[in-house]
Amino acid sequence: MTFIEVKNLWKIYGKGEAKTVVLKGLNLKIDKGEFVIITGPSGCGKSTFLNILGLLDVPNKGMVYINGKKTTLMSENERAIFRRKISGFVFQQFHLINTLTALENVELPMMLNEMDKSYRIKRAKKLLKSVGLEKRANHYPNQLSGGQMQRVAIARALANKPKIIFADEPTGNLDSKSGNQVMNMLRELHDNGITIIMVTHELEYTRYATKVVKMKDGEIIDIVEH
Ligand code: ADP
Ligand code: ADP
């Protein structure tokens, strides 16, 4: 069943001399429960594409359908609500809030969804336990290793029970052991039915994918089904 459909997607920055065409008419279909890996050389448009799929950014032309809904026509506010309801994000740079503990970072998306405090704390503790960090709940990000920070970020991404996880080079700042831990967590989430869409240039990880989307110069040059 088609979950996400992309039709003739264009992204252009700037005007005149400074014009950069970053995405050139992309088309893609993603089913529920897929593990999609988007790969290609640096600067080919992977992050831009992921940010548009995740409704963090909008295209200049074309459409992203999610569950048949024309997301590109939504207002910024509608997109924010939709995003909080169905998706979780994991970034290369972790994007944790340094003034909040691990537990509070995981609580944050639930606060934005107005869940009550006792539920938030209970669920945040459970999620930290599931990523092996129950003993680090009261640590601040700067007291954690990169691998631990990314595991907190995964727990945070799961806070609102997402249907999709968007991950942009989630292993890019990690050593191979921590990177493999993160990949195993993503694989487990995929096994539990969550759709994963991940950008990486590390080709060894394509073995986890149900679909590998290869990009070059703003175009999809190949789609390999596994
Ligand atoms: P990748 O993730 O494959 O490395 P990106 O999507 O980050 O590629 O970037 C693709 C191209 O778009 C690059 O040439 C980059 O410089 C350009 N780009 C990204 N964001 C902006 C922006 N806000 N303004 C202008 N150009 C941008
Ligand atoms: P990477 O480290 O993989 O290159 P970035 O740090 O560039 O990823 O993040 C991708 C984009 O998402 C950036 O434009 C950033 O501003 C945006 N972003 C990051 N975190 C959030 C967030 N929590 N909510 C909304 N947008 C975010």
Per domain, the residue ranges of the chain are: 2-225
CATH class of residue range 2-225: alpha beta
Smallest Cα–Cα separation from 143: which of 177, 101, 103? 101
What's this model's pTM, rounded to 2 decimal places?
0.89
Please state the atom number of ligand 1 nearest to the C-alpha of residue 218.
10
Whether this model's ipTM surpasses 0.85 comes out as no
Residue pointed to by tokens 């809904």:
69
Ligand minimally distant from the alpha carbon of residue 12 = 1
Whether 47 shows a pLDDT value over 90: the answer reads yes
- The pLDDT of 72-84, averaged and rounded, is 94
**CA of 94 relative to ligand 2 center, distance in Å:** 9
Confidence of residue 83 (pLDDT cuts 50, 70, 90): very high
Backbone angles phi, psi at 32, to 5 degrees: -60, 135
The mean pLDDT value of the chain amounts to 97
CA of 186 to the centre of ligand 2 (A): 19
| HSE value, Cβ hemisphere, 13 Å, CA-based, for 195 | 21
Q: Which pLDDT does position 28 carry in this prediction?
A: 98
Ligand 2: list residues with CB < 6 Å.
Answer: 47, 51, 56, 89, 91-93, 95, 168-169
The whole-angstrom separation of Cα 50 and Cα 201 is: 14
Residue 1 has pLDDT above 90, yes or no: no
Residue 218 Cα to ligand 1 midpoint, Å, equals 10
Strand partners, 89: 166
CA neighbor of 55 nearest in space, from 65, 45, 43, 46 = 65
CA atoms within 13 A on the CB side of 134: 6
